[in-house]
Amino acid sequence: MIVMPPLPHARCWTPRPLPVGPRLARGWRITDFAAAGAVVRVGRRSSELDRLLRRAGVRHGAFVGAWNPCSRRAPRWRNDAALARLRAVATRRGIAHHDGAGCAARPAWSEDHLLLLGDWRRAMVLAHRFGQHAVVVVRLHDLARLRVLR
């Protein structure tokens, strides 16, 4: 039996244990999620992100990706095409968004995301549609939280 490292500030919509391995769980913990000059980590607050949400007139948002569906590596061109489709769907549905990225230093890692502004549940639907394991939900004056989908 594999013992999963704790993921603080994670909410799971699947039975335990988490449906991901310890490396992926660690990756979420050490990643800086950034968009429009605001940066946040899971389990932390960000005054820049609060300002961004206030300027947009919303209380919630979520970092959603489309890269590497189901955590299976895909070539850059396929990842970029998937993110472009996610951006198009968000635009068609009238969801305000900013381009963003998730980056970690050790090990060096980077993945493009969108920060979808507004109801985080709509973001979760899109994340599921694009094969993502989780989204990072942000709320005004609150900690960033990981919502595990699969």
The pTM (predicted TM-score) of the whole model is 0.85
Structure tokens at 14: 């699947």
Q: 51 in a domain, yes or no?
A: yes
User: Is the separation of the CB atoms in 2 and 16 below 8 Å?
Assistant: no
Q: 5 in a domain, yes or no?
A: no
Residue 14 has pLDDT above 50, yes or no: no
Its domain, for residue 90, covers 10-148
Domain count, the chain: 1
pLDDT at 106: 78
> In 1-150, which ranges are continuous DSSP H helix?
22-30, 47-56, 76-92, 120-129
Q: 78 in a domain, yes or no?
A: yes
- For the stretch 62-120, pLDDT in tens is 999 999 988 788 999 999 999 999 999 999 999 999 999 999 887 788 999 999 999 99
Q: What is the phi-psi region of residue 36: left when phi exceeds 0, alpha when psi lies from -120 to 50, beta otherwise? A: left
Q: 76 in a domain, yes or no?
A: yes
Q: 1 in a domain, yes or no?
A: no
String of b and e for 61-99 (b: at least 16 CB within 10 Å)?
A: bbbbbbbbbebeebeeeebeebbeebbeebeeeebebbe
Structure tokens at 120: 């985080």
Q: How many CA atoms lie within 13 A of 91 on its CB side?
A: 8
- 57/60 Cα distance (integer angstroms): 9
Q: 110 in a domain, yes or no?
A: yes
Report which of 33, 32, 25 is spatially closest to residue 6, judged by C-alpha positions: 25
User: Is the separation of the CB atoms in 45 and 143 below 8 Å?
Assistant: yes
Q: Are strands 32-35 and 10-12 parallel, antiparallel or unpaired?
A: unpaired
Lowest mean pLDDT among 30-34, 49-53, 69-73, 144-148: 69-73
